[in-house]
Amino acid sequence: MSTFTPLSGSATPRPTGAAAVRRTASVAALAALALAATACSSSGGDPLGGGASTSAAGAAGTSPAAAPGGTVVVGSANFPENVLLGSIYAQALRAKGVKVEEKFNIGSREVLYGQLQSGSLSVLPEYNGALLAYLGGKSADPTAAAVNAELTKTLPASLGILESSPAEDKDTLSISQESADKFGLKTIADLAAKAGEFTIGGPPEFKSRQEQPLKDVYGLTFKEWKSTGETTANAVKDGSIQVGNVFSTDPKITQLKLVPLADPKNLFGAQNVTPLVNKAKVDATATGALNAVSAKLDTAGLLALMKKVAVDKEDPSAVAKDWLKSSGLS
């Protein structure tokens, strides 16, 4: 991963260490990076996605007027998780005395990326694997560290990424708590002994994209594949399928007491929540505030926050405020 130390309104990339949990190999890993851009749930996933080229992205949309000098403009895509993350970023910056303007619910990655390049936006909550796929980059080893290294090479000089958080909005294979207890299942690898008896479900494209990778990486051959779409989590809970492709920050995981299986061979690509910034628009204070958020935010915590927003219908701004206070960041 890389970060940078802004000086006098500009910045020079500086490499830094990073940790991650990722996969071994195979072409499936690279495909998984692109998957999250299109196969997403209404409450999670990465609806920023799109297949536009970098040049097309930079030209997309009509940018609003840039904010006054010294103001950090935090944007977000138009889905609940990204709005929540944008609010966390904005309030963390304000807590450090940074002047902030919020522009949330803007739209897809094509529009957002162009506005960040133009300087109309200063900061976006991004997902490193999906962003790399969008930019046409690839990482043979899609760990968070490797993905971020490729992002640093691929992004234009005006843009940069800060520290990635451990929090990921990514594909999982999830099972019911009952199945986990009955069969002692903790990882995808543990499914090897039971896959022949289990039905697996997910979005309509899930089988064509993941049947062979699951065989290649984990040796899994399932009894049956079903297209369950938005009902996947409920289908796992009611037993009509035993394994479901559910996103890691989908509140239904908590609501229905599902168990996401660990992915020790890193079949699914890194999708760490990562601040994407226009380097000229953030200074050292802003960088420090955003990196502090990344250090505290993990997948379990983001999942809990998303339950409050999507299930309990709490205001994202209030949820963000409470989290920042409990994390010692406000």
Q: Is the pLDDT of residue 11 over 50?
A: no
Tell me the per-residue pLDDT of 150-206, one tens digit each, with 9 for 90 and over: 999 999 999 999 999 999 999 999 999 999 999 999 999 999 999 999 999 999 899
Q: Are 327 and 199 in contact (CB under 8 A)?
A: no
The lowest-confidence range among 20-34, 85-99, 105-119 is 20-34
C-alpha 117/C-alpha 150 separation (Å) is 19
C-alpha 240/C-alpha 319 separation (Å) is 34
* b/e 182-204 (16+ beta carbons within 10 angstroms → b): ebebeebbbbeebbeebbbbbbe
Q: Is the pLDDT of residue 105 over 50?
A: yes
Confidence (pLDDT) at 269: 87
Q: Which of 267, 307, 14, 262 is nearest to 129 (CA)?
A: 267
C-alpha 221/C-alpha 13 separation (Å) is 45
Tokens of 67: 């904010």
C-alpha 190/C-alpha 300 separation (Å) is 22
Q: Are 33 and 269 in contact (CB under 8 A)?
A: yes
Whose structure tokens read 């999670």? Answer: 44
Confidence (pLDDT) at 1: 41
* pLDDT above 90 as % of the chain: 75
Q: Which of 21, 31, 37 is nearest to 213 (CA)?
A: 31
Confidence (pLDDT) at 266: 87
Q: Which of 329, 295, 312, 284 is nearest to 90 (CA)?
A: 329
Q: Which of 275, 288, 274, 302 is nearest to 95 (CA)?
A: 288
Containing 152, the helix (H) or strand (E) segment is helix 144-154
Strand 273-278 to 199-202 pairing: unpaired
